């Protein structure tokens, strides 16, 4: 843990204009990123934000136009294509559309990277066997991809990506083509890959619950830039940017949206505040004691508690009833204990 396995410094990727006379497309704009061994690093952003381009820079499927990309201590920006091949054996990749070879059986697909790596037939057979067991498809070795369900195909994709025992796995929207149930199975499998083999995983998604389920760190991308990053718990419980807050809002329950707030305000004419509780660092009883001490009446009108990586955080929205001075006094003291946002 702690050792940096992927490091991007001031990396940009500019595509030439797609139409004659058009302007170049800046897909990645001066991005810094540091991924440590054992991380499950989530990258989230809206369509076109540059997520796919960013991960494809890491295994050099796409070449950067500026900046430095160091993988396993080796600078790969500017390396010629043929020198990249051995580096790629150390990075597995899985795809939204699975990208399995239809002309090969499941076993043949998993063996493919081993053939490329020049492993002996015996070695390949053993490793394929092992991986089929690991992903739970031992009975499908001789099946062809078009005979499998989406979830099974992705498990083959994962087995193939792990064949050469890489210590980095890139997952580009690996669950976006799957239903929620299957998504969970695949995410659970990825989590096992991370925990049992110590594989560092970089997952791209536009679904926040994927991040919530398996990521330890997250970077939020917007128009080619990383606009926010950090531990998943910190970003979820206390997003700093509007874009991050919007993503967080899709999974985190407990904060009323504008519409809900309008309805609440109609019903509760007094002042409305939202208190955020992170972890166990805030003593809720102490917070409520402050209101009582100032004689401020309060009523919980909205709220919810979430849990990320076993750490709880939550939001409670209160309608306050008292004169302005008491409310101000109470809020001033509460602000020393936790984060307060007042609805306006």
Partner 1 sequence: MDALIGLQSQFWTATVETLYIVALALVFGGLGGLLVGLGLYLSRPGHILENRPVFLVLNVLVNFVRPIPFIIFIAAAQPLARIVVGTGIGNPAAIFAISVAASFGIGRIVEQNLMTVTPGVIEAARSVGAGPWRIIVTVLLPEALGPLILGYTFVFVALVDMATVAGYIGGGGLGNFALVYGYRQFNPVVTWAAVLLIIVLVQLVQFLGNWLARKAFRR
Ligand X SMILES: Nc1ncnc2c1ncn2[C@@H]1O[C@H](COP(=O)(O)OP(=O)(O)OP(=O)(O)O)[C@@H](O)[C@H]1O
For partner 1, the closer of residues 103 and 336 by Cβ is: 103
Which of the listed partners (partner 1, Mg ion, ligand X, none) does 325 bind, with a CB threshold of 5 to 8 Å by partner kind? Answer: none
Question: CB under 5 to 8 A by kind: which of ligand X, Mg ion, partner 1, none does 27 bind?
Answer: ligand X
Q: What is the distance between the alpha carbons of residues 3 and 34, in angstroms, rounded to a whole number?
A: 10
Contact status: 46 vs partner 1 (CB under 8 A)? no
* CB of 154 vs partner 1, minimal distance in Å: 13
52 scored as a contact of Mg ion (CB under 5 A): yes
Question: Under 8 Å CB-to-CB from 62, ≥6 apart: which residues?
Answer: 13, 53, 56
Binds ligand X by CB under 6 A, chosen from 5, 33, 40, 50? 50
The residue with tokens 């067991």 is 133
CA 28, CA 49: separation in Å to the nearest integer? 8
Which range in 32-40, 92-100, 214-222, 242-250 contacts partner 1 by CB under 8 A?
92-100
Question: Residues in contact with partner 1, total (CB under 8 A)?
Answer: 31
- Among positive and negative, which fits the CA dihedral 177, 222, 246, 336? positive
Q: Which residue has the tokens 């970003």?
A: 235
Candidates 113, 121, 118; CA nearest to 158 is 113
Segments of 79-187 assigned E as strands = 91-95, 168-172
Phi, psi of 122 (to 5 degrees): -65, -50
Stretch of residues binding ligand X (CB under 6 A), selected from 30-38, 43-51, 85-93, 143-151? 43-51
Token code pair at residue 74: 């080796």
In angstroms, rounded to a whole number, what is the distance separating the alpha carbons of residues 285 and 282? 9
Window 160 to 189, contacts with ligand X (CB under 6 A) = none
| 113 binds partner 1 per the rule CB under 8 A | yes
145 binds, among partner 1, Mg ion, ligand X, none (CB under 5 to 8 A by kind): none
When asked if residue 8 is in the footprint of partner 1 (CB under 8 A), the reply is no
Q: Which residue is closest to Mg ion by CB?
A: 52
Minimal CA–CA distance to 206: which of 162, 243, 158? 243
Residues of this chain that interact with partner 1 (CB under 8 A) are: 59, 61, 82, 84-89, 91-93, 95, 97-104, 112-113, 115-117, 144, 160, 163-164, 170
């Amino acid at each position: 843990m702690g050792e940096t396995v992927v490091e991007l410094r001031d990396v940009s990727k500019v595509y030439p204009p797609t139409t004659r006379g058009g302007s170049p497309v800046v897909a990645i704009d001066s991005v810094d990123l540091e991924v440590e061994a054992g991380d499950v690093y989530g990258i989230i952003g809206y369509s076109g934000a540059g997520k796919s381009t960013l991960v494809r820079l890491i295994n050099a499927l796409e070449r950067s136009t500026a900046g430095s990309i160091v993988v396993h201590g080796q600078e790969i920006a500017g390396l010629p294509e043929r020198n990249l091949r051995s580096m790629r054996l150390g990075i597995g990749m899985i795809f939204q559309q699975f990208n399995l070879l239809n002309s090969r059986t499941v076993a043949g697909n998993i063996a493919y990277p081993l053939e490329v790596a020049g492993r002996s037939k015996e070695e390949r057979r053993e490793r394929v066997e092992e991986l089929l067991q690991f992903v739970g498809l031992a009975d499908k070795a001789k099946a062809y991809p078009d005979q499998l369900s989406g979830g099974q195909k992705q498990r083959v994709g994962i087995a193939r990506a792990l064949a050469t025992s890489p210590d980095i796995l890139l997952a580009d929207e690996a669950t976006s083509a799957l239903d929620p149930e299957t998504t969970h199975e695949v995410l659970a499998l990825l989590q096992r890959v991370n925990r049992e083999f110590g594989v560092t995983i970089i997952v791209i998604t536009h679904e926040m619950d994927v991040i919530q389920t398996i990521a330890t760190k997250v970077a939020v991308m917007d128009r080619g830039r990383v606009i926010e990053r950090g531990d998943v718990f910190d970003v979820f419980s206390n997003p700093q940017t509007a874009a991050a807050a919007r993503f967080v809002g899709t999974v985190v329950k407990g904060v009323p949206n504008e519409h809900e707030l309008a309805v609440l305000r109609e019903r509760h004419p007094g002042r409305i505040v939202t208190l955020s509780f992170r972890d166990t660092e805030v003593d809720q009883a102490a917070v409520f004691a402050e209101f009582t001490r100032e004689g401020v009446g309060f009523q919980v009108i909205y709220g919810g508690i979430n849990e990320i990586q076993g750490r709880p955080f939550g939001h409670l929205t209160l309608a306050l009833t008292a004169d302005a001075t008491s409310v101000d006094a109470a809020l001033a003291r509460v602000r020393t204990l936790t984060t307060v946002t007042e609805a306006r």
